[in-house]
Amino acid sequence: MSRRYFGDYVFRSYGWRHLQSRVMIGLLAAACGLVLLPLFSILGYVVWQGLPALEPAFFTQLPGSVGEAGGGMANAIVGTLTLVGLALLLGLPWGIALGIYLSEYGRGRFASVVRFSVDMLSSVPSIIIGLFVYAWVVIPMKRFSAVSGGVALALLMLPTVARSTEELLKLVPGHVREAGLALGLPRWKVILRIVVRGSLGAIATGVALALARVAGETAPLLFTAFGNRYWNQGLDQPIASLPVQIFNYAISPYEEWHRQAWGGSLVLIALVLGLNISMRAALRRKGKTGDS
Amino acid sequence: MTTTSPFLLETRGLSAWFGNAQAVKPTTLGCAANTVTAIIGPSGCGKSTFLRCLNRLHEEVPGARAQGEVFLENGPVYGPGVDPVAVRRKIGMVFQKPNPFPALSILENTVVGLRLAGVRRKNVLRELAERSLRLAALWDEVKDKLDQPGMSLSGGQQQRLCIARALAVEPRVLLMDEPTSALDPVSTARIEELVTELKKEVTVVIVTHNMQQAARISDRTAFFLLGEVVEFGETSRLFTNPVDPRTERYITGRFG
């Protein structure tokens, strides 16, 4: 007759729990893989298809004539950088100011109307933003232009920048503001020079994420920046951009243009991912010094 | 003001509200120059609110207001034409949780009040920083790493950095709102020592939960209960021979 000790039961039940735990961790890993699969298959496929198109000429030359081999997307690369720069110039001060208002002064009815409007703006489809800019900028100017494209992208950036700035500033504890006031500083100085300054790194990341998102927008550029097969002649003229160029090339019947569209896609993804990753890395470095 | 009072900081019938709830009932207190006044009392008795009325920080909370009079060196702290910003230049404050400004170095944290008030010259700022850090008994620990973030210091050092920051604008009064309640015993002892030293420079009003602390460092003590001052007097007298039975019950640990 063997007697079973309490310890035996404990041991056995732990074995069962370990098994359960392994199975669950396995399931979670599988779910994780499933999520990553689309991302990496997109990346892999774009690199596989796009890399052969990336000859030096791709970065230095204008698009070739219809059906002709050679040529590049230099004007579209410069165009995208120009448009993103314009969006930054127009959208950034406005978005950050809105974020500061919502976080630091945003109480009462007016503020909730503003907050609601910003949220509404972020849910407006990007093509509608494009149409709006077409009606309000392109038609009065009587031409497609880089400026109108920049305005469209700025409008798309605005809600993201404003809300991320607001949320980040709200993370700064109230007693930090009080400490600033207690030093005999006016409120606006406390906000700009202490609260906002302390969150600058994080705000920059939010801005970079917003920029990365609008850099790939196509719809709002179709009838604002329009596109251009030559170098841009000025900010009041139509301007090429990578997404629009990719769109035009991808729907064309020419093999060579398809190849270049893949090349353009790879450059666009590299630009966006590069911006994203470098901002995150910069923030992590800052975080390590205890300097958030 | 025509009447001159013996007090550097004085309240007359000062009361405070949060919305319709009265947090501090009309309170009249005086603090002589270069003394330490302790404010003790159970949680929620209004002692912090009272303190925050003295530098007009209370009114920054939405819905909060204060009534009555406060005088600093016989000048009004409340009243038409008095700028709370100017008041706070003269009445500094240290908070319960150490709160160095994020993303600012130790040096920048120390002189941020002067820097943002328009002092630009690097050597002047540096000198004043050293003076304040010495006063706060922090200089020897940080003199070789002034460019490191203020947040990188330990809790006790952070609190002394906040004291240095408050002292840098050369206030007449330093308000301390439970400055050691988030610190370990060694850091607490250092701050207590420091307060006794600081008396030479400023007048201190300190809110504390810790009765031993009040007994150790203060000259006079006010006991708050349910928003009013039950007893105010010499610290040694108040702790050994309280007049009010409620004070006696509190200091002997029967409630609170």
Q: Mind listing the domains of chain B with CATH numbers?
A: 9-99+171-251 (3.40.50.300)
Residues 167-196 of chain B with CB under 8 A from chain A are 169, 175
At A135 the pLDDT is 94
d(CA B226, CA B230): 9
Chain B closest-CA separation from residue A60 CA (Å): 42
At A274 the pLDDT is 87
Mean pLDDT of chain A: 88
User: pLDDT tens for residues B218-246?
Assistant: 999 999 999 999 999 999 999 999 999 99
Verify whether the Cβ–Cβ distance B101 to A291 is below 8 Å.
no
Domain A56-288 has CATH 1.10.3720.10: yes
| Candidate from B60, B117, B166 with C-beta closest to A181 | B60
Q: Where are the domains of chain A?
A: 6-53, 56-288
| Candidate from A182, A186, A189 with C-beta closest to B55 | A182
B166 CB neighbours in chain A (<8 A) are 182-183
Tokens (6 digits) for B150? 């203020």
At A2 the pLDDT is 60
- Cβ-contact A181, A276 below 8 angstroms: no
Task: Find, in chain A, the residue whose alpha carbon is nearest to that of B96.
Answer: A175
| Lowest-pLDDT range of A35-44, A178-187, B4-13, B199-208 | B4-13
B102 CB neighbours in chain A (<8 A) are 172, 176, 198-199, 291-292
Verify whether the Cβ–Cβ distance B103 to A292 is below 8 Å.
yes
A176 CB neighbours in chain B (<8 A) are 99, 101-102
Tokens (6 digits) for B67? 């009534």
Q: pLDDT at residue A106 above 60?
A: yes
Q: Nearest Cα to A121, choosing from A147, A159, A92, A176? A: A159
User: pLDDT tens for residues A211-233?
Assistant: 888 998 999 999 899 888 888 88
Neighbours of A113 (CB within 10 A): 10
Q: Does A238 touch chain B (CB under 8 A)?
A: no
- Cβ-contact B28, B12 below 8 angstroms: yes
Report CA Rg, chain B: 18
User: Residues of B69-99 as b/e, b for ≥16 C-beta within 10 angstroms?
Assistant: ebbbeeeebbeeeeebbebbbbbbbbbbbbb
Task: Find, in chain B, the residue whose alpha carbon is nearest to that of A180.
Answer: B113
Residues in chain B: 256
Phi and psi at residue A8, in whole multiples of 5°? -65, -45
pLDDT classification of A287: cutoffs 50, 70, 90? low
Judging by beta carbons within 10 Å of its beta carbon (0-12, 13-18, 19+), is residue B173 exposed, middle or buried?
A: buried
Kindly give the pairing relationship between strand B91-94 and strand B173-177: parallel
| Candidate from B60, B62, B151 with C-beta closest to A291 | B151
Percent of chain A with pLDDT over 90: 63
B117 CB neighbours in chain A (<8 A) are 184-185
Q: Does A176 touch chain B (CB under 8 A)?
A: yes
Q: Does B153 touch chain A (CB under 8 A)?
A: no
Verify whether the Cβ–Cβ distance A292 to B102 is below 8 Å.
yes
d(CA A159, CA A91): 9
Residues 78-117 of chain A with CB under 8 A from chain B are 107
Verify whether the Cβ–Cβ distance A198 to B162 is below 8 Å.
no
End-to-end CA distance of chain A: 67
Query: Maximum CA pair distance of chain B?
Result: 57
Per residue of chain B (256 residues), give pLDDT as tens: 445 678 999 999 999 999 999 999 999 999 999 999 999 999 889 999 999 999 999 999 989 999 999 999 989 999 898 999 999 999 999 999 999 998 899 999 999 999 999 888 999 999 999 999 999 999 999 999 999 999 999 999 999 999 999 999 999 999 999 999 989 999 999 999 999 999 998 999 999 988 999 999 999 999 999 999 999 999 999 999 999 999 999 988 877 5
- State the average pLDDT over residues A52-73: 83
Which position has the token pair 């298809």? A49
Segment (H or E) for A122: helix A108-123
At A6 the pLDDT is 63
Verify whether the Cβ–Cβ distance A193 to B85 is below 8 Å.
no
Verify whether the Cβ–Cβ distance B60 to A199 is below 8 Å.
no
Q: Nearest Cα to B226, choosing from B15, B45, B47, B24? A: B45
pLDDT classification of A107: cutoffs 50, 70, 90? confident
Tokens (6 digits) for B219? 């000259």
Q: pLDDT at residue A60 above 50?
A: yes
Verify whether the Cβ–Cβ distance A183 to B60 is below 8 Å.
no
Q: Nearest Cα to B87, choosing from A182, A177, A174, A176? A: A182
Interface pTM (ipTM) of the complex? 0.91
- Cβ-contact A241, A73 below 8 angstroms: no
| Candidate from A179, A184, A290 with C-beta closest to B99 | A179
At B203 the pLDDT is 96
Chain A closest-CA separation from residue B94 CA (Å): 8
